[in-house]
Amino acid sequence: MTADFTVTAQLASAWWTRSGMSAPDAVVSVDPIVLAAVLGVIGPVETCAGALDQKNVVDRLLVEPYRTLDQDAQGRWFADAAAAVFTAVTERARPVAMIPPSRAPSTRTHLRVEP
């Protein structure tokens, strides 16, 4: 992907559509800072490598994988973490409760949405 989120969103949308899925309404990018705020609302998320929570998620996603895992293992870890978080958010989150915690990080471009 690219450093330009608009281009990245277009590429992700095209890839998704080419894989046989219907075109997405939007592409959303959430970094670990926003994810920490979300985990503060929904609580810890269990992954194959242990729990992600509001206090450890930044280190667990931005530091540990690059110090301890090879590239293939990093990809598996990120995929597992993303799937676990997505499942937890869709099963546990009340969207209105997530707005105030995610508001501050979103003003610093930690949360991006591209139609």
* b/e burial code for range 71-97 (CB count within 10 A of at least 16 → b): eeeeeebeeebeebbeebbeeeeeeee
65-102 pLDDT, tens digit each: 999 999 999 999 999 999 999 999 888 877 666 555 55
| Under 8 Å between Cβ of 28 and 112 | yes
- What are the pLDDT digits (tens) for 20-78? 999 899 888 888 888 998 899 899 999 999 999 999 999 999 999 999 999 999 999 99
In the three-class reduction of DSSP (H, G, I as helix; E, B as strand; rest coil), residue 77 is classed as helix
